[in-house]
């Protein structure tokens, strides 16, 4: 038995935690708090430096790093503010180090400036947002109201940040490693959107980690020894040059959209109505789907894991064969906009959300789901293909278009080295063509 | 099938500890577990609760709207959580601090003077462990031996001197609620 | 014209004189200074300061081990002139950026270049906390009392009575507060190993600035803590003066910001820096 409790035994070391399991076939699980599990996953992923500032509900993450990073001879700094923290990360990342910054919603707002700089500099970093209720100082309860803030770009300028949203602690640990890899492969900040519940909860996890390979950095500012000096910057006062830089960024974003989509589904095979939810809301939705099916309602769950790039194509395919979609969020309705964009009206999209630190209960969501079922019409047997707008629901037999997709679509493994072909091709095209590409 | 337990009371009553013990015991038995604290600003004396959901498959909602078991250690907790005990569920009431009578008739009510029993076991702060013992006497969530192991594993590392009192508190609660001797 | 654009042709071929002593190079462009004209306004002090830094980088052998951090302001383009690796910082955050560089690259030399709006207004928290932590950084703080790049607005360092585009009637303490002697403020922190203020008013003063910069760099190279040199510089355009007038005006600036070494804790306690 190993010592495991996240709150009561802060002094334990990882050596204790990762005691070799007695039965190698079934590695011993540990009961671990989300914040601490994410911290250790980052350490095991090779994080060189951590910068943070205390804020609830992610303080345990900072405290874990405060103890572990110096133990390993790595860098931990509690900065003077979230501005300080993320700018320290900017500096360390620009020298080629693997860096992690964490905060919660109000602190993430302060970080918007440097995120924009880092996106412009193509400077990789992993940022974890353990979201809490807003706006303003808000509450410390769990929330998903930072979706717009992070998924839609955060700071000023035309940029995107890959955003990953775990729904369990073990998934969060895996996504931390993925986030470092994505960040370095595409030279971009990557955000993990967790929430207070995931940060504070404990679940048994297998302490298994992944350390992404180190990239060859031919751009970092690490002292111009035997080579020409390099500048890591985002400034370019010549509009022609800056536009070209933007086109390169956009080409990179198209590549990320093509390769880094992640989502999971449950009971989508025969679902006639589907809940779309991520993170903690998806946990609630899973219970709702189970209860709905116990009551004879064939519900399914579509869970985006990458919020950007959003699993648009996969969701559109699902939307084409269900009578309605219910989006559940811990917000006033943010991801629902991306759902509507993906669905393009082929099926009705409804929304249920709670705010300010409240989490919808399974009973409430089930009632909403039943209500939505009652006011919508069945999918016609002969149906329509995905992409055909169906604003007016035809009344037809219920048991229609079902897809062969049952298991979650596997996330692209993404282990292939990044190709610059797409980027080169896009940069070479003229502006009109590039815009066509952007808006396609 | 998920089974959810809510332990609620004042901060300082060992609520998160008791929840952790339950979660560890369930994990050791190979079950799935989700442990969620009510977290607030770091202040002493506020109300606290801990939800532990145990199941055979991956746990869904962290929000419980029908609890299989509720342990109410102070009056506000009874007022807040009595209603969400699922029909047929169990409600453990700490009669040392709670004078009000539960009104539900479709659930099992277990009245135990947890605070007094904790004091006699050695420490007021063991009240949650007493209550956990009482709960386990009425509901077979996990084996009592798993709970003993979990307490030992957590306490041994940090404060081995209180292990005996913890185990005594567990057994006192179990006995008080079962009227029988604790199985060996 | 700045000094950077006046390389004195030491290599010009003199008339052969066999009896003369071997030729000595008296003046040339340092390796660390790139061979290009700057974007700075005629008469601006940044060029002089760039040259001093470049000379010292050559002298101290720092060209291939330095990571420099550029601010936002006129000197944002310092990376175009000083031949080291550079990282561009958001406005005011250079000390935080440099902290991240410093801690993850303990064997490198880290230079921070900031103006007075950058350091003493928007970046006040970052500079104070970098100093408080005793970060092993060398900060070159160019104080010209004005926001130059955005058109000559009032800065936290603007003198009382001084007119600017955002204090058209002159800085008035009741309305705009007092100039900030931020280097003195920093110097009281035990993490600050060396703090000094120089001026570009005349060549001999410029020589003293170079001495101060060298000392500040040596502090970092010998494991000392935070070092900062504030340099009173001119902004002829922002001050609405000719270049010579602006240089002469630096005498008045020095009445508010006295010249000299403010603290040198390494000298005071050679064995170990305080704090």
Annotate A244-289 with DSSP letters as a single string.
HHHHHHHHHHHHHHHH---EEEES-SS-SEEEE--HHHHHHHHHHH
Of B17, B58, B60, the CB nearest to A8: B17
CB A152 within 8 A of CB A119: no
| Cα angle, residue A239 at apex, residues A238 and A243 outer, rounded to 5° | 125
Q: Which is it for the CA torsion A188, A194, A195, A196, positive or negative?
A: negative
Together in a domain, A273 and A206: no
Calpha distance A113→C275 (Å, rounded): 33
- Can you give the pLDDT at residue A28? 87
pLDDT of res. A414: 40
Going by the DSSP 8-state scheme, the letter that residue C75 receives in this structure is: G
Q: At CB < 8 A and 24+ separation, what contacts does A109-112 make?
A: A109/A149, A110/A81, A110/A82, A110/A83, A110/A86, A111/A82, A111/A83, A111/A85, A111/A86, A111/A154, A112/A149, A112/A154, A112/A155, A112/A156
Phi, psi dihedrals of residue C194, rounded to the nearest 5° = -145, 130
* C271 pLDDT above the threshold of 90: no
Dist CA C21 CA B106 (whole Å): 112
A84 lies within 8 A of chain C by CB: yes
Q: Which range has highest mean pLDDT (A10-14, B55-59, C27-31, C210-214)?
A: C210-214
Count Cβ atoms below 10 Å from residue A52 Cβ, excluding itself.
29
Q: How far is it, in rounded angstroms, from Cα B21 to Cα A232?
A: 51
Contact call for residues C261 and C227 (beta carbons, < 8 A): no
What residues form DSSP beta bridges with C195? Answer: C228, C263
Domain residue limits, chain B: 3-178
At residue B101, the pLDDT reads: 94
Q: Measure in Å the smallest separation between the Cα of A106 and chain C Cα atoms.
A: 18
**C12: closest CA of chain A, how far (Å):** 28
Instruction: Identify which of C66, C96, C102 has the shortest CB distance to residue A87.
Output: C96
* CB-CB neighbors (< 8 A) of A46 in chain C: none
Residue A248 sits in the same domain as residue A281: no
The nearest alpha carbon in chain A to C111 belongs to A223
- In the predicted model, residues of chain A with pLDDT beneath 50 are 1-24, 383-440
- Characterize the bridge pairing of strands A202-205 and A30-33: antiparallel
The full set of domain ranges for chain C reads: 42-268
Tally the domains of chain A: 2
**Nearest neighbour of A203 by CB, restricted to B16, B33, B158:** B33
C85-88/C66-70 β-pairing:
parallel
| A303 Cβ contact partners less than 8 Å away, ≥ 6 residues apart | A167, A263, A264, A265, A266, A276, A277, A278, A282, A285
- Phi-psi map region of A439: left, alpha, beta (phi>0 left; psi -120 to 50 alpha): alpha
A110 Cβ contact list (under 8 Å, min separation 6):
A81, A82, A83, A86, A103
CB A92 within 8 A of CB C138: no
Residue of C nearest to A98 (CA): C104
- Tens digit of pLDDT at every position of chain B (184 positions): 789 999 999 988 999 999 999 999 999 999 999 999 987 665 566 778 999 999 999 999 999 999 999 999 999 999 999 999 999 999 999 999 999 999 999 999 999 999 999 999 888 889 999 999 999 999 999 999 999 999 999 998 888 889 999 999 999 999 999 865 444 4
Q: Are strands C85-88 and B108-112 parallel, antiparallel or unpaired?
A: unpaired
Minimal Cα–Cα distance from A173 to chain B, Å? 16
Measured CA distances, C138 to A88, A140, C166, C192, C217 (Å): 16, 40, 31, 10, 6
| A355-414 tens-digit pLDDT | 999 999 999 999 999 999 999 999 876 544 443 333 333 333 333 222 222 222 334 344
Cβ within 8 Å, pair A87-C97: yes
Residue A114 is part of which domain span?
14-215+236-259
Same domain, A19 and A143: yes
What percent of chain A lies above the pLDDT cut of 90? 79
Q: Show the tokens assigned to C17.
A: 């004189």
Residues C183, C49: Cα–Cα separation, whole Å: 18
A48 contacts on C by Cβ (under 8 Å): 104
- CB C90 within 8 Å of CB A87: yes
Measure the CA–CA gap between A224 and A195, rounded to whole angstroms: 42
Look at residue A57 and tell me if it is in a domain: yes
Q: Which of A375, A397, A423 is the last residue of a domain?
A: A375
Per-residue model confidence (pLDDT) at position A13: 33
- Domain limit, last residue, from A259, A291, A314: A259
Contacts of B39 in chain A (CB under 8 A): 56-57, 140, 196, 200
Rounded distance, CA B181 to CA B174, Å? 8
Backbone angles phi, psi at B13, to 5 degrees: -90, 10
Between CA A122 and CA A125 the distance in angstroms is 10
User: Which one-letter DSSP state was computed for residue A56?
Assistant: T
Q: Mean pLDDT for chain C?
A: 92
Q: At A4, is the secondary structure helix, strand, or coil?
A: coil
CB contact under 8 A, C100 and A48: no
CA distance A409 to chain B (A): 19
* A266/A22 Cα distance (integer angstroms): 33
Contact of A362 with chain B, judged by CB distance below 8 Å, is answered with: yes
Query: Chain C interface residues facing chain A, Cβ-Cβ under 8 Å?
Result: 63-67, 69-70, 76, 79, 83-90, 93, 96-105, 108, 125-126, 128-129
Across the interface, whether the CB atoms of C100 and A235 are under 8 A apart is answered no
Contacts of C64 by beta carbon, 8 Å cutoff, 6+ apart: A223, A224, A225, A226
Q: Chains A, B: CB contacts under 8 A, how many?
A: 99
Contact A/B (≥3 CB pairs under 8 Å) = yes
Residue of B nearest to A29 (CA): B27
Which residue, A355, A375, A395, sits at the end of a domain? A375
* Shortest Cα distance, chain A CAs vs residue C209, angstroms: 25
> Is the bond preceding A135 in cis, omega lying within 30 degrees of 0?
yes
Identity of the residue in A75, A121, A221 whose CB atom sits nearest the CB atom of C85 = A221
CB contacts < 8 A (A, C): 136
CATH fold for domain C42-268: Rossmann fold (3.40.50)
Query: Closest to A84 (Cβ–Cβ): which among C69, C101, C129?
Result: C129
Which of C140, C142, C137, C39 lies closest to C81 in space, CA to CA?
A: C39
Q: Give the pLDDT confidence score for residue A392 in this predicted structure.
A: 35
Pick the residue from chain B with its C-alpha nearest to A1. Answer: B153
The pTM (predicted TM-score) of the whole model is 0.88
Question: Quick check: is A429 in a domain?
Answer: no
Q: Which residue has the tokens 């709006």?
A: C117
C-beta separation of C54 from C82 below 8 A? yes
Q: Is residue A420 part of a domain?
A: no
Residues A190 and A156 in one domain: yes
Partner-chain contact A200 B37, CB within 8 Å: yes
**A285 and A247 share a domain?**
no
**CATH code, domain carrying A251:** 3.40.50.970
Tokens of A188: 């971009």
Between CA A157 and CA A161 the distance in angstroms is: 12
A114 to chain C, closest Cα gap in Å: 7
Question: Which of the residues B62, B87, B125, B150 would you substitute to probe the A interface, choosing the one with the greatest number of A C-beta atoms within 10 Å?
Answer: B62
- B chain contacts of residue A12, beta-carbon cutoff 8 Å: 157
CB contacts of B16 in chain A (<8 Å) are 7-8
pLDDT (0 to 100) of residue B42: 54
User: Which one of B12, B63, B158 makes the best mutation probe of the A interface by having the most chain A beta carbons within 10 Å?
Assistant: B63
Q: Identify whether residues A242 and A284 lie together within a single domain.
A: no
Closest approach of A57 to chain C, Cα-based (Å): 24
Peptide bond into A57 cis (omega under 30): yes
| Nearest beta carbon to residue A7 from set B16, B32, B34 | B16
Pair A19, A39 in one domain:
yes
Chain B residues touching residue A284 (CB < 8 angstroms): 60-63
C119 closest CA partner among C136, C138, C142, C98: C142
Preceding amide of A309 cis, omega within 30: yes
Q: Which residue of chain A comes nearest to B34, CA vs CA?
A: A203
Residue A382 belongs to a domain: no
DSSP string, chain B: --EEEEEEEETTS-HHHHHHHHHHHHHHTT-EEEEEE---SS-TT-EEEEEEEEESS----SS-SSEEEEEE-SHHHHHHHGGGEEEEEEEEEETTT--SPP--SSSEEEEE-HHHHHHHHT-GGGHHHHHHHHHHHH--SS-HHHHHHHHHHHHHHH-GGGHHHHHHHHHHHHHHHHSSPPP-
The CATH number covering residue A334 comes to 3.40.50.920
| B3-178 classified as CATH 3.40.920.10 | yes
With an 8 Å Cβ cutoff, is A101 touching chain C? no
Within this chain, do residues A176 and A49 fall inside the same structural domain, yes or no? yes
pLDDT digits over A51-83, tens only?
A: 999 999 999 999 999 999 999 999 999 999 999
The upper half-sphere exposure of residue C244, i.e. CA atoms within 13 Å in the direction of its Cβ, equals 0
């Amino acid at each position: 038995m190993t010592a495991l409790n996240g709150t009561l035994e802060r002094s334990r070391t990882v050596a204790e935690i990762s005691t070799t399991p007695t039965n190698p076939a079934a590695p011993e699980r540990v009961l671990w708090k989300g914040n601490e599990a994410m911290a250790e996953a980052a350490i095991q992923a090779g994080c060189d430096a951590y910068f943070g500032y205390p804020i609830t509900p992610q303080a345990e993450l900072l405290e874990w790093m405060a103890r572990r990073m110096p133990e390993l001879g790595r860098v931990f700094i509690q900065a003077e503010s979230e501005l300080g923290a993320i700018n320290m990360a900017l500096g360390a990342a620009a020298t080629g180090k693997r860096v992690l910054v964490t905060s919660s919603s109000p602190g993430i707002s302060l970080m918007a400036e440097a995120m924009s700089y880092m996106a412009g500099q193509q400077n990789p970093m992993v940022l974890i947002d353990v979201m809490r209720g807003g706006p303003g100082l808000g509450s410390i309860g769990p929330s998903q109201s930072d979706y717009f803030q992070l998924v839609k770009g955060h700071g000023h300028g035309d940029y995107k940040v890959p955003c990953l949203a775990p729904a369990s602690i073990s998934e969060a640990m895996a996504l931390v490693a993925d986030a470092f890899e994505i960040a370095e492969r595409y030279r971009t900040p990557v955000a993990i959107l967790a929430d207070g519940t995931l940060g504070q909860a404990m679940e048994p996890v297998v302490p298994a980690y992944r350390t992404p390979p180190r990239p060859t950095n031919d751009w970092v500012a690490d002292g111009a020894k035997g080579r020409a000096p390099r500048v890591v910057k985002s400034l370019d006062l010549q509009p022609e040059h800056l536009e070209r830089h933007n086109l390169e960024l956009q080409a990179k974003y198209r590549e990320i959209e093509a390769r880094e989509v992640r989502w999971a589904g449950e009971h989508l095979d025969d679902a006639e109505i589907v809940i779309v939810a991520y993170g903690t809301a998806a946990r609630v939705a899973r219970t709702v789907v189970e209860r709905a099916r116990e009551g004879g309602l064939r519900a399914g769950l579509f869970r985006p894991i990458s919020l950007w790039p959003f699993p648009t194509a996969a969701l559109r395919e699902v939307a084409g064969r269900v009578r309605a979609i219910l989006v559940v969020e811990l917000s006033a309705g943010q991801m629902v906009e991306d759902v509507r964009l993906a669905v393009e009206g082929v099926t009705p999209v409804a929304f249920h959300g709670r705010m300010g630190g409240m989490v919808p209960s399974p009973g409430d969501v089930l009632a909403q789901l039943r209500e939505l079922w009652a006011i919508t019409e069945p999918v016609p047997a002969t149906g329509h293909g995905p992409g055909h707008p169906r604003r007016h629901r035809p009344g037809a037999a219920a048991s229609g278009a079902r897809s062969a997709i049952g298991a979650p679509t596997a996330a692209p493994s993404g282990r292939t080295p990044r190709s610059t072909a797409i980027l080169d091709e896009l940069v070479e095209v003229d502006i009109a063509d590039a815009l066509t590409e952007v808006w396609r | 099938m998920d089974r959810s337990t809510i332990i609620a009371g004042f901060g300082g009553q060992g609520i998160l500890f008791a929840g952790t013990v339950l979660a560890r015991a369930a994990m050791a038995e190979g079950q799935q577990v989700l442990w969620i604290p009510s977290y607030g600003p770091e202040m002493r004396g506020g109300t606290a609760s801990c939800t532990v959901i145990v199941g055979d498959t991956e746990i869904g909602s962290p929000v419980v709207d029908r609890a299989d078991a509720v342990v109410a250690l102070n009056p506000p907790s009874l007022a807040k959580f009595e209603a969400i005990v699922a029909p047929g569920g169990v409600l453990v009431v700490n009669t040392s601090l709670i004078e009000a009578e539960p009104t539900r008739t479709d659930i099992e009510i277990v009245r135990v003077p947890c605070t007094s029993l904790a004091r006699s076991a050695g420490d007021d702060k063991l009240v949650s462990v007493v209550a956990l013992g009482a709960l386990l006497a009425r509901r077979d969530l996990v084996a009592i031996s798993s709970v003993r192991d979990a307490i030992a594993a957590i306490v041994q590392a940090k404060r081995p001197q209180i292990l005996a009192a913890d185990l005594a508190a567990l057994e006192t609660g179990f006995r008080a609620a079962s009227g029988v001797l604790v199985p060996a | 014209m700045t000094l950077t654009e006046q390389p004195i042709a030491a290599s010009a071929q003199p008339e052969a004189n066999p009896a003369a002593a071997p030729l000595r190079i008296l003046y040339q462009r340092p390796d660390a200074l790139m061979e290009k004209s700057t974007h700075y306004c005629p008469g601006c002090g940044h060029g002089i300061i760039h040259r001093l830094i470049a000379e010292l980088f050559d002298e101290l052998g720092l060209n291939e081990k330095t990571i420099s951090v550029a601010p936002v302001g006129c000197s944002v383009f310092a990376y175009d002139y000083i031949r080291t690796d550079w990282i561009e910082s958001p406005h005011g955050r250079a000390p935080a950026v440099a902290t991240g560089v410093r801690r993850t690259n303990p064997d490198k030399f880290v230079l921070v270049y900031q103006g007075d709006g950058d350091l003493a207004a928007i970046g006040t928290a970052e500079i104070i906390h970098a100093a408080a932590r005793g970060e092993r950084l060398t900060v070159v703080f160019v104080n010209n009392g004005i926001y130059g790049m955005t058109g000559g607005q009032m800065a936290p360092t603007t003198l009382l009575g001084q007119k600017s585009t955002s204090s058209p009637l002159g800085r008035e303490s009741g309305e705009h507060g007092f100039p900030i002697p931020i280097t003195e403020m920093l110097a009281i922190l035990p993490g600050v190993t060396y703090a000094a203020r120089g001026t570009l008013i005349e060549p001999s003063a410029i020589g003293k600035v170079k001495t101060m910069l060298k000392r500040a760099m040596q502090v970092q190279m010998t494991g000392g803590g935070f070092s900062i040199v504030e340099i009173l510089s001119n902004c002829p355009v922002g001050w609405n003066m000719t270049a010579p007038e602006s240089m002469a005006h630096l005498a008045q600036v020095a009445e508010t910001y006295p010249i000299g070494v403010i603290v040198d804790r390494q000298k005071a306690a050679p064995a170990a820096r305080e704090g």
